[in-house]
Structure 1
């Protein structure tokens, strides 16, 4: 029996198609494997500094802190005026009046010091709360961003030695910051 030339052509066409499909599948597998295991990072400090909400939150915090500090300053100024008045009239006071005035001034100074410490603590707590709110926003956004883009892990570089070197092509900071600010602007 003679080989049929048309069957030979069909077989070579089939082999060519199968080879092309295998090559295409290999390329797709390499692409998806590379893109899903690529190591990427964001510069956390740059995100915090460039995030629009950080500026708004800092301005609100600064306004509260200034008001609280002004309250303390007015109490201190009032106490200093009382102290100056006491110094002027001191010579004309009886020993009992002197003792009473000194106790009153001392008590008032202790109260002001206690209030000042409480205000300082409140300012620190507010600062921590404000910072944590911003960081929570960033973390939530990066988590969703990573899921949407198919990243298995996104590192956070903060200049403290977490990532000592990374190729700039692995830096997602600007892209993430752009999306983060766009999301915040929509919420306003």
Structure 2
């Protein structure tokens, strides 16, 4: 009988301990991840860099495409005058060049996607670390993400810390940018 009472008392104490931990309030917040990526300076810089690179690579390819179009127009004009054998041979050459241009365009797009993907993955990784450090520093139990891939269905606006995180990552990016510039100027001075 004493064992039963002792087990009963132990069970009640365990249940009461669980209830006290369940009622603890957690400090939570959320970040609009879409807004973070849209408004962070570093993400804008990466996007701008690859738009510019795309224009440069695209203009080089455009020269080749225009040359091809010119040759195709000349082909149509000269096909009747030069005969069927010439037209078949030149037509096959033009088809091959068109296919090569298509492959070059696909390769350029793939290269841009891969390069920008690597930088964006690195950026997201750095932002996750910054958010984790921010959460620890500010004493948050949970920080949720909303945006394109929402993991929060509802949150009070007072829990939104997106602006604080944007300021944090922008300030961190600006300060790291200044640190990187100084060593380069010292190298140039040595030359």
Q: Tell me the equivalent position of 2:166.
A: 177
With normalisation by structure 1, the TM-score equals: 0.74
Matching residue of 1:110:
99
Tell me if structure 2 keeps the 8 A contact 1:58–1:130: no
Partner Cα separation in structure 1 for residue 119 and residue 60 of structure 2: 21
Aligned partner of residue 145 in structure 2, secondary structure: strand
Moved >6 Å (runs of 4+): none
Structure 1 position 179, deviation (Å): 1.4
Residue 155 of structure 2 aligns to a residue whose secondary structure is coil
The 10-residue stretch of structure 1 (92-101 or 165-174) with the greater mean CA deviation from structure 2: 92-101
Q: Which residue of 1 aligns with 2:45?
A: 56
Bigger CA radius of gyration: 1
Cα distance between partner residues in 1 of 2:151 and 2:34 = 12
Q: TM-score, normalised by structure 2?
A: 0.73
What residue is the counterpart of 1:70 in the other structure? 59
Partner secondary structure for residue 53 of structure 1: helix
Cα-to-partner distance string for 1:26-66 (whole Å, 9 max, x where unaligned): xxxxxxx65xx212111111111111101111110101111
- Describe the superposition over 1:87-107 as per-residue Cα deviations: whole angstroms up to 9, x where unpaired: 122222133322221121111
Counterpart for residue 120 of structure 1: 109
Q: Check conservation: 1:48, 1:134, Cα contact below 8 A.
A: no
**Uncovered stretches (5+) of structure 1, i.e. residues with no partner:** 1-32
1:167: which partner in 2?
156
Aligned match of 2:19: none
Aligned pair count? 154
